[in-house]
Chain A
Amino acid sequence: MEAFTSLAGGLAVAIQPANLMFALIGVLLGTAVGVLPGIGPALTVALLLPITFKLDPAGSIIMFAGIYYGGMYGGSTTAILINTPGESASMATALEGNLMAKAGRGGPALATAAIGSFVAGTIATLGLTLLAPYLVDIAVSFGPEDYFALMVVAFVTVSATFGDSPVRGLTSLFIGLMLGLVGIDLLSGQSRLSFGVPELYDNIEVTTLAVGLFAVGEALYVASRRHIQEEKLEAVRGSLWMTKEDWKRSWKPWLRGTMFGFPIGALPAGGAEIPTFLSYATERRLTKHPEDFGKGAIEGVAGPEAANNASAAGTLVPLLTLGLPTSATAAMLLAGFQQYNINPGPLLFAQNADLVWGLIASLFIANVMLLVLNLPLVGLWVKLLTIPQPWLYAGILVFATMGTIAANPSPVELMMLTVFGVLGFLMRRFDFPIAPVIVGLILGPLAESQLRRALSISLGDPMTLLQSPISATLLTIALLALVLPFFLKGLGRFKAVED
C-alpha cells in the first residue's frame, strides 16, 4: 500500500500545471518524431537534452517520458496507415495493421492500437509501481544462456507464421540472417561481409531494412502493376470506430501482449522486438479467425501494440531500480537524470522518491493524454488515405528517405534503402514473405552473440544451456512449440478415425 501513497504523492507532482504542460509538449513532440522512420524517441531526447538543461529536473524528465511514450504511438500510426514502421518495435504492427487500413478498416486498427497501448501502458506502469523491486532480481539473474533460449523460443514460434511455403519462408529468414552478419562482429571485433566499406561496419539498421522492404518495395510493386490493377483505397469501409466484435477480438490480445511486453522489456537484453513478434505469433495461433490473418486481422494489431508499449514501461524497471539503461531511450533518460546530478541506481528510490514517483505518475498521465489526443484524431489520420494515390506514394517515399537521411546523413545508407526497396519489390513479385527477413536481421545477431557469450563463460561446455533452470524451461517450451502442432495434428487424425 505504501507504493500507492507514494504514487498519489507523485500524481500531485505530475498534475501541477507546469508539469502537465511539459507532459503535453513531450507527447506531441514524441508523436511527431515517432512518425518519421529513423528518428526515434532516443534521438529526440538526445537533441533536446541541452535545451532542457536549464529547466527543473521534474519538468524535463516528465517531458522525456512523454516523448518516449509519444514516440511509440507515432511509430504505430505510420506503420498502420502507410506501412512505414517508424521504429523496429512497430514492425509487427505493420504486418496486419496496414492490411486493415487497405481494407478500409484503418479506423478500428488505429483505435485498437491506441486503446491497446493505453491498457498495456497502464497495466505495465502499475506493474512498475508494485513489482519493480522483485522483478529486477529475476531480470538480473538472466544470463546469456537464458537469453539464447528465449531467442530460440522466439524463432520457433515466429517461424510458424511464415506462410504456407516452408522453403520460401526459410529463404526469407536466411536472407535476414545473412544481412545480420554484415558489420563488425561484436565478440571478435572483426568485420564480416563488409567488403571494406566502413559504412557497413555498424551493422544494417533495422529501420532502414524495414522501411526499404515495406515502404519502398511496396511503392515499386504497386507502381509496376498499375496498368493491370488500379489499387483502390477506401479510407473507411464499415465503421470508423471499433465495433462490438472488434472489442471482443481485441481485449484478450491486449492483455496477452502486456504479459509478453512487460517482463521481457524489463530484462536487460530483452528489447521490444521479441515481445511484439511473440505476441503476433501467439495471436495468429490462438485466433478464432485464422482466415483473417494475411487480410488484416485486428488481433494482429492489438497484441503487438500492447506488447510494444508494455515493454517500454518494462525498460524503466532496471533503469529506475538499478540505473541500468537497457535501451537507447533509457540511456538518454539516464543522461537526463545525470545532468541534474541525480544518479539512478539502487539508491534512487530512497534519495529522490518524489522525482521517481512523479515520473511514474506522469507516465500514467502521458498515457491518458495520448489516448485523448489520438482517438479523436483517428478520423483525421484515416483521411490521409484519401490523398490521391500519386501524392500518397510520393509522400511515403519522401518520408522514408528523409527519415533515413536525418538519422544518418550518408549516401551509403540511402543506397541500402534503395537496394532493400528493390529486394522488397522482387520478394513481393515472387511471393516470398517479408517479415522473416526482418526477424532474421533482429534475432540472428542477438542469438549468435548470446550463445557465444554463454559458451565463453562456460569455457565451451554446451551443457550450460540445460544447467540453467530458466534456459532449460525455455528450451522445453521451444521444443513443445515445435513438436506439439504435429502431435495435435496426429491426434486429430486419430480422432477422426475414431469417429
Chain B
Amino acid sequence: MASSSQRRIDVAGLVIALILLVLAGIVWWDMTKLQILSPYDLGPKVMPIIVSGCLILLAIGNAIGALRGDLPVRDSLDWKPIILILGALACLIVLIRFGGGFMIGTALLFAATSTAFGRRAFVTDFIIGAVIALIVYVLFAKLLTLSLPAGPLERLF
C-alpha cells in the first residue's frame, strides 16, 4: 500500500544496503589473503570476487529501493519475546560450552519459548521440557550410542 505520496527514505533499508556493502568488503578482504593458487583451474579467488562484486551491486540496488521507499510496510515489533528466546538459546550455548549438559538448557529453552508465546507457567513448562530432554537423551545416548553433551544431570542416567 505504499502510495507515492507517502514515500520517504527508509532508514532500515539503507542499513541493509550498508550491511551488504560491509559483507562484500569482508569477502573481498578474505579473498586477498588466499595464498595458494591452483595451477590449472580458476583458483579459489574467482568465486569470492564474483560474490563480492554482486553484493556491491545488490547493496546499490537495495539502497535505491530504500531511497524510493519501496520497502514493504512493516508492523510494530514486540522485542520482549525475541529477547527471551534468544536469551534462552544463549544460556543453552553457554551451558553446553561449560559442561552443564544439554538437559537443563533444553528445559530452559522450552520454558522460555513458551513464556514468550504468552504462557505463564514457567515451572510446569520447565519440567515438561526436562522430561522431553530426558526421553531424547535416553533414546539417543543409550539406544543409538550418540554422544550428547553431558553435564551433572546426564551423568545420573
Given contacts A192-B30, A406-B146, contact A448 B47 (CB under 8 A): yes
Name A188's contact: one of B38, B58, B89 (CB within 8 Å). Answer: B38
CA distance A452 to B51 in the complex (A): 16
- The yes or no answer to B138 lying at the interface (CB within 8 A) is no
Interface size of B as a range: 35 or more
Chain B residues with CB below 8 A from A481, complex form: none
CA distance A48 to B13 in the complex (A): 51
B44 to chain A, nearest CB (A): 4
Chain A residues with CB below 8 A from B116, complex form: 223, 390, 393
- The yes or no answer to A12 lying at the interface (CB within 8 A) is no
Query: Chain A, 382-425, contact with B by CB distance < 8 Å: what is the 0/1 string?
Result: 00000011110111011001100110010100110110011001
CA distance A460 to B133 in the complex (A): 54
- The yes or no answer to A431 lying at the interface (CB within 8 A) is yes
Interface residues of B in 71-106 (CB under 8 A from A): 71-72, 74-79, 81-82, 85-86, 89-90, 92-94, 96-97, 102, 106
A238 to chain B, nearest CB (A): 27
A112 to chain B, nearest CB (A): 30
Name A171's contact: one of B20, B72, B140 (CB within 8 Å). Answer: B20
**Is the CB–CB distance between A225 and B117 below 8 Å?**
no
Chain B residues with CB below 8 A from A219, complex form: 85, 113
Query: Chain A, 310-333, contact with B by CB distance < 8 Å: what is the 0/1 string?
Result: 000000000000000000000000
**Is the CB–CB distance between A226 and B30 below 8 Å?**
no
**Is the CB–CB distance between A178 and B55 below 8 Å?**
yes
**Is the CB–CB distance between A226 and B118 below 8 Å?**
yes
Name B132's contact: one of A393, A395, A444 (CB within 8 Å). Answer: A395
Chain B residues with CB below 8 A from A48, complex form: 144
CA distance A448 to B41 in the complex (A): 11
Chain A residues with CB below 8 A from B109, complex form: 394, 397-398, 401
CA distance A193 to B45 in the complex (A): 12
- The yes or no answer to B12 lying at the interface (CB within 8 A) is yes
Chain A residues with CB below 8 A from B20, complex form: 171
Chain A residues with CB below 8 A from B102, complex form: 402, 405
**Is the CB–CB distance between B51 and A171 below 8 Å?**
no
- The yes or no answer to A185 lying at the interface (CB within 8 A) is yes
**Is the CB–CB distance between A223 and B147 below 8 Å?**
no
Chain B residues with CB below 8 A from A177, complex form: 47, 51, 54
Find the residue from A189, A229, A390, A418 having the highest chain B CB count within 10 A: A390
CA distance A48 to B144 in the complex (A): 7
Name B114's contact: one of A178, A227, A390, A430 (CB within 8 Å). Answer: A390
Chain A residues with CB below 8 A from B106, complex form: 398, 401-402
**Is the CB–CB distance between A390 and B82 below 8 Å?**
no
Chain A residues with CB below 8 A from B36, complex form: 188-190
CA distance A39 to B90 in the complex (A): 23
Given contacts A398-B129, A430-B16, contact A47 B145 (CB under 8 A): yes
CA distance A430 to B16 in the complex (A): 9
CA distance A190 to B78 in the complex (A): 43
Chain A residues with CB below 8 A from B41, complex form: 187, 452-453, 455-456, 460
Chain B residues with CB below 8 A from A171, complex form: 20, 58, 61-62
What are the 8 A-B residue pairs with the smallest beta carbon separation, nearest first? A223-B81, A390-B117, A390-B114, A394-B113, A452-B41, A456-B41, A390-B119, A167-B61
Q: List 24 A-B contacts (CB under 8 A).
A: A167-B58, A175-B23, A177-B47, A178-B23, A178-B55, A188-B34, A189-B36, A192-B44, A195-B30, A216-B89, A223-B117, A226-B81, A229-B75, A390-B115, A391-B128, A393-B116, A395-B132, A397-B110, A401-B89, A405-B102, A421-B89, A430-B74, A431-B72, A452-B38
Residues of A that sit less than 8 Å from B by CB: 39, 43-44, 47-48, 167-168, 170-171, 174-175, 177-178, 181, 185, 187-190, 192-193, 195, 216, 219-220, 222-229, 388-391, 393-395, 397-398, 401-402, 405-406, 409, 411, 414-415, 417-418, 421-422, 425, 429-431, 444, 448, 451-453, 455-456, 459-460
With A189-B36, A460-B41 known, 7 other A-B pairs at CB within 8 A are A39-B146, A174-B51, A188-B37, A226-B117, A411-B96, A452-B43, A455-B42
